[in-house]
Amino acid sequence: MKIILITGASRGIGGATAILAAKAGYAVAVNYRRNRTAAEQVVSEITGKGGTAVAIQADITREEEVMKLFSETDRVFGRLDVLVNNAGILEPQMRLEEMDAARLSRIFAANITGQILCAREAVKRMSLKHGGSGGAIVNVSSIAAKTGAPGEYIDYAASKGAIDTFTVGLAKEVAEEGIRVNAVRPAFIYTDIHADGGEPGRIERIKASIPLRRGGLAGEVAEAILWLASEKSSYSTGIFINVSGGR
């Protein structure tokens, strides 16, 4: 059985990916930061249908907690085949003039440093160079990396641009060590993150300008993530799938 570790899997895109991964036959490590109840619900949904999953608390902005997340995954499952670097945060919409350093630190710690630290621990376990048997890393970026999200959250967009560059670089760095690194760029997906951005109804406001004329579902992003995680995408590395309704 293949082992998949999904960061931020208690809700939203990560939660949907955990449930779809279990259906595809993976044993799932369901990471969460604070919402234990939500993480346990994802685990129950999986185990209730005969799947294998465990919830593991860790704040990925803290290096010692990232180390604990991976050592706990080792302890429970004994190996790692796929990392989905999904955990990420958004802060209230504002222009640059209003942004302070504390906000920027929170955004970059969660969306860049945390993802890079998790990728480091995954590479140590998967790389043929380190005695691993290969694997796949799927980073969750955003279409904001391309649009820049002006007037809303250019800091968040910049953090996702960094993830795109990281995806390209790491893909080349570890390609001959049996690890593929790819990313999805979602947008306008119905999750709690828009409330964190200060506008829970954001998708309704802008959906008429989305070519497909609707918001997306977390499960639609999960499909793309799991394709990139699987051997079906075996000749792709360093690529991006936009799941953004045509934007």
Query: Any idea which residues carry the catalytic annotation?
Result: 156
How far apart, in whole angstroms, are the C-alpha atoms of residue 82 and residue 2?
A: 8
Least separation in angstroms between CB 119 and ligand NAP: 14
Minimum distance, C-beta of residue 12 to ligand NAP, in the bound complex (Å): 2
Crossing angle of helices 63-77 and 114-126, rounded to 10°: 40
Q: Is 140 in the site for ligand NAP (CB under 6 A)?
A: yes
Binding mask 78-117 for ligand NAP (x = CB under 6 A): --------xxxx--------------------x---x---
Contacts of 146 (CB under 8 A, 6+ apart): 185
Tell me which of 2, 3, 5, 8 binds ligand NAP, using CB under 6 A: 8
Q: Report the residue from 17, 21, 26, 32 that binds ligand NAP according to the rule CB under 6 A.
A: 32
Interface pick for ligand NAP out of 18, 55, 157, 193 (rule CB under 6 A):
193
Residues that bind ligand NAP (CB under 6 A): 7-14, 31-35, 38, 59-61, 86-89, 110, 114, 140, 142, 186-189, 191-193
